Amino acid sequence: MKKFTKSNEGITLIALVVTIIVLLILAAVSIQMLTGDNGIITNASKVSTSNAYYSAEEQVKLAYMAVKAEISAKTVKSGTYDPTDSSETTALATIVANDLGANQTGSKWAVDRSTAGTIIITYTDSKIDKDSIGTVNLATMDGTTVPTVVPREEGKVHYKIRLLKSQDAELFTDISEDVDTVDGTSASEMVKIADSKTTDAAKTEYYQSFYGSVVDYGKTIDTSLSDKWKIFYIGKMEGETDDHIYLIADSYVKYDTLPTKAVGETTPTTYSYKKSTDWKAYFATYQADPATINDGILPAYPTGAMVGSSYATVAKMKNLNYKYYKAGHTGESQPNMRAVASMLDTNIWSSYMDSTTNGKAQYAIGGPTIEMLFNSYNQTHGTNFGAKAASTNGYQINTNADATTGWANNISNMLNTTDTNGLYVCSTGANAYWLASPSAYGTNGVMLVYYDGGVSDGGYNYSNFGFRPVVCLKSSVQLEKVSDNNYKLK
**DSSP class per residue in 402-428:** T-SS--BS-BTT-S-SSSGGG-S---S
pLDDT tens by residue, 310-332: 444 566 778 899 999 888 887 77
Residues 162 and 282 in one domain: no
* pLDDT score, position 407: 97
- Evaluate whether residue 395 is within a structural domain: yes
pLDDT band at residue 369 under the 50/70/90 scheme: very high
* pLDDT score, position 401: 96
Number of domains in the chain: 2
For residue 370, what are the contacts with CB-CB under 8 A and spacing of at least 6? 321, 387, 395, 397, 435, 437, 447, 455
Residues 280 and 138 in one domain: no
pLDDT for residue 155 is more than 80? no
pLDDT tens by residue, 38-74: 554 444 444 455 666 677 888 888 888 888 888 888 7
pLDDT band at residue 225 under the 50/70/90 scheme: low
- Evaluate whether residue 15 is within a structural domain: no
Residues 84 and 157 in one domain: yes
* pLDDT score, position 441: 94
Distance CA 319, CA 327 (A): 13
- Evaluate whether residue 41 is within a structural domain: no
* Minimum mean pLDDT range among 252-256, 368-372, 396-400: 252-256
pLDDT for residue 242 is more than 80? yes
Residues spanned by the domain of 235: 214-489
In a 3-state reduction of DSSP, which class is residue 293? coil
CA atoms within 13 A on the CB side of 91: 12
* pLDDT score, position 223: 57
Distance CA 349, CA 53 (A): 56
DSSP structure class, residue 86: H
Give the best-scoring range by mean pLDDT among 14-28, 143-157, 247-261, 285-299: 247-261
Distance CA 490, CA 472 (A): 15
Q: For residue 384, what are the β-bridge partners?
A: 400
In a 3-state reduction of DSSP, which class is residue 26? helix
pTM, to two decimals: 0.68
If we measure between CA atoms, which residue out of 304, 286, 303 comes closest to residue 295? 286
Assess contact for 481 and 215: CB atoms under 8 A.
no
485 backbone dihedrals φ, ψ, rounded to 5°: 65, 25
- Evaluate whether residue 378 is within a structural domain: yes
- Evaluate whether residue 364 is within a structural domain: yes
Distance CA 468, CA 454 (A): 16
Distance CA 480, CA 320 (A): 27
DSSP structure class, residue 306: G
Distance CA 103, CA 63 (A): 14
Residues 165 and 310 in one domain: no
